[in-house]
């Protein structure tokens, strides 16, 4: 039910990001959301795509160091305080957030955030118990 995110280890040098996106194009994989965490020497590219397993296999076969990580897709009202409300719940129940980033496509008056926490299952249940909508992978990939 959770969302599978693809992470790729990239050296901090020109052309690396282009190489990944070109490869995904060749396999007709569509990127739904992305973020890059970088240091001076290397970065980690994180991707939500419409076909995670295909993208994972493709990148792996091309020699990239790639891993699959479970993340949560959280829906919230698209207005001031929307994200704050979600984070308040996570903080209250002591879920530590590793990172989060916004989803590009969105549904009407809702905003979407991709969120990586420890204890994914528990976090999903906690959010849902508190009236927050958590999107399944299937739904998110098709948005």
Q: Tell me which residues touch other proteins (CB under 8 A).
A: 5, 7, 9-11, 16, 37-39, 41-42, 44, 46, 60, 63-67, 69, 98-99, 116
Q: Characterize the bridge pairing of strands 97-102 and 133-135.
A: unpaired
Tell me the closest approach of the beta carbon of residue 9 to other proteins, in angstroms.
5
Tell me the closest approach of the beta carbon of residue 71 to other proteins, in angstroms.
10
Residues in CB range of 37: below 8 A, 6 or more apart:
43, 44, 46, 99
User: 19-43 burial string, b = 16+ CB within 10 Å, else e?
Assistant: ebeebbeeeebebbbbbeeeeeeeb
| Alpha-carbon Rg for the chain in angstroms | 16
CB of 32 or CB of 46, closer to other proteins: 46
CB of 76 or CB of 100, closer to other proteins: 100
Tell me the closest approach of the beta carbon of residue 118 to other proteins, in angstroms.
10
Tell me the closest approach of the beta carbon of residue 43 to other proteins, in angstroms.
8
């Amino acid at each position: 039910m959770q969302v599978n995110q693809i992470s790729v280890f990239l050296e901090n040098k020109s052309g690396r990001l282009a190489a990944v996106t070109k490869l995904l194009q060749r396999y007709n994989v569509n990127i739904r959301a992305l973020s890059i965490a970088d240091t001076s020497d290397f970065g980690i590219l994180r991707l939500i795509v419409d076909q995670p397993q295909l993208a994972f296999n493709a990148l792996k076969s091309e020699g990239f160091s790639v891993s699959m990580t479970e993340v949560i897709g959280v829906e919230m009202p698209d207005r001031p305080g929307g994200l704050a409300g979600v984070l308040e719940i996570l903080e209250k129940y002591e879920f530590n957030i590793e990172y989060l980033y916004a989803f590009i496509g969105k549904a009407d008056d809702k905003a979407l955030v991709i969120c990586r926490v420890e204890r994914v299952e528990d976090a999903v249940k906690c959010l849902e118990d508190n009236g927050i909508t958590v999107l399944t992978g299937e739904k998110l990939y098709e948005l």
